């Protein structure tokens, strides 16, 4: 019974994470920021709705009775969403970028990088249960 529960949570999270990867994937971080800005410019609420793993992690923390590993998952997802919003604000609203940040944003990223969350987050779900 517990094994089925863990499997269901992990599979749901993987499905939601793949959804996020699909709409955010780009050859550079700037490309990812541009794709995210399309939703953010319409409404920040729409942008936040496009982050289902963030809501999953909030619910998972409550369902796991505030387990430390679930809290770590929520913290990482919160930092992830906050970083995305800060990058969007920096690039499109303030339009102030340092030279180093510009180089980082425009540098090509490894095609494996967007899938890194699939390796980091599921073990936290398993450890929380």
- Mean pLDDT within 65-76: 96
What is the percent of the chain where pLDDT is above 90? 79
The answer on pLDDT for 2 being more than 70 is no
Place of tokens 């793993």: 53
Tokens of 32: 């990812």
Note the pLDDT of residue 111: 87
Q: Is the dihedral of CA 52, 74, 70, 121 positive or negative?
A: positive
Question: 10 Å Cβ neighbour count for 33?
Answer: 19
Say if residue 43's pLDDT is above 90. Answer: yes
DSSP 28: B
Name residue 28's beta-bridge partners.
Answer: 108
């Amino acid at each position: 019974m517990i094994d089925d529960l863990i499997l269901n949570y992990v599979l749901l999270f993987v499905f939601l994470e793949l959804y996020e990867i699909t709409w955010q994937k780009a050859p550079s971080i700037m490309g990812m920021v541009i794709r995210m800005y399309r939703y953010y410019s319409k409404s920040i609420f729409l942008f936040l709705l496009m982050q289902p793993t963030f809501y999953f992690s909030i619910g998972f923390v409550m369902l796991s009775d505030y387990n430390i590993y679930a809290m770590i998952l929520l913290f990482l997802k919160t930092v992830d969403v906050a970083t995305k919003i800060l990058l969007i604000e920096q690039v499109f609203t303030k339009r102030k970028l340092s030279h180093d940040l510009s180089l980082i944003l425009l540098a090509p990223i490894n095609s494996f990088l967007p899938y890194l969350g699939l390796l980091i987050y599921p073990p936290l779900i398993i450890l929380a249960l």
